[in-house]
Chains A and B, each alone.
Chain A
Amino acid sequence: MTFSMRRIRAIITKDWKDLLKNSYILVSILLPLGFAAMLSRMSTDDSSMLSMPINLALVMTGAFVQASMMAEEKERSTLRVLLLSPASTLEIMIGKSVLSAIITLIVVIGSILISGINIPELFYFSIMILLSLIIFISLGTIIGLISRTVMETSIVGLPILIIFTYGSMLSSMFNSPIIAESISYLPTENFSSALVSLQGSGGFAEIKWNLLNMLLWAIGSVILAKFIYGKRRLDK
Chain B
Amino acid sequence: MKYQIEVNQLTKAFANKPALNGVSFQIKRGEIFGFLGPSGSGKTTMVKILTAQLLHTSGSVKVFGNDVRNLQNPEQMKRIGILTDNSGLYDRLTIYDNLELFCKLYNVDVKRIEEVLEEVNLLQDKKTAVKQLSKGMKQRVTLARAILHKPELLFLDEPTSALDPTNKQQIHTVLRKLNEAGTTIFLSTHDMQEAEDLCNQVAFLHNGTIVELDTPQSLRVKHGDSTINIRLKNGTSVTVGLDEAGSNAIRDYMNNGELLTIHSNEPTLGDIFIKLTGRALQ
Contacts and interface: CB of A to CB of B under 8 A. Distances in A.
Interface of A: 2, 6-7, 9-11, 13-14, 17-18, 21-22, 76-78, 80-88, 91, 234-236
B74 A80 contact: no
B105 A86 contact: yes
A33 to B, nearest CB: 23
Nearest to B89: A78
Interface of B: 14, 48, 51, 53-55, 74-75, 77-78, 82, 84, 86-93, 97, 101-102, 104-107, 145
B62 to A, nearest CB: 18
B9 to A, nearest CB: 21
Contact of B88 (A18, A78, A88, A234): A78
B89 A14 contact: no
A89 B104 CA distance: 16
Nearest to B48: A235
A11 B93 CA distance: 13
Nearest to B82: A84
A80 B86 contact: yes
B75 A80 contact: no
A86 B97 contact: no
Contacts of A6: 104, 107
Given A84-B82, A235-B48, A14 B75 contact: no
Contact of B54 (A10, A18, A76, A235): A235
Contact of A88 (B74, B84, B87, B89): B74
A71 B27 CA distance: 37
Given A21-B92, A88-B74, A235 B104 contact: no
Contacts of A11: 101, 105
B101 A14 contact: yes
B77 A85 contact: yes
A18 B93 CA distance: 6
B165 to A, nearest CB: 27
Contacts of A85: 74, 77, 102, 105-106
Contacts of B54: 234-235
Contacts of B102: 85
A84 B106 contact: no
B92 A7 contact: no
11 contacts: A10-B101, A21-B93, A76-B91, A77-B84, A80-B84, A81-B84, A83-B53, A85-B77, A85-B105, A86-B77, A87-B74
**Interface hub of A14, A22, A86 (most chain B Cβ within 10 A):** A86
A235 B53 contact: yes
A11 B97 CA distance: 11
A236 B17 CA distance: 13
A227 to B, nearest CB: 17
B142 to A, nearest CB: 9
Contacts of B93: 14, 17-18, 21
Contacts of A81: 84, 88, 145
Contacts of B48: 235
**Interface hub of A2, A7, A77, A85 (most chain B Cβ within 10 A):** A85
Given A14-B101, A84-B53, A78 B90 contact: yes
Contact of B90 (A7, A76, A84): A76
B53 A7 contact: no
A3 to B, nearest CB: 10
B109 to A, nearest CB: 13
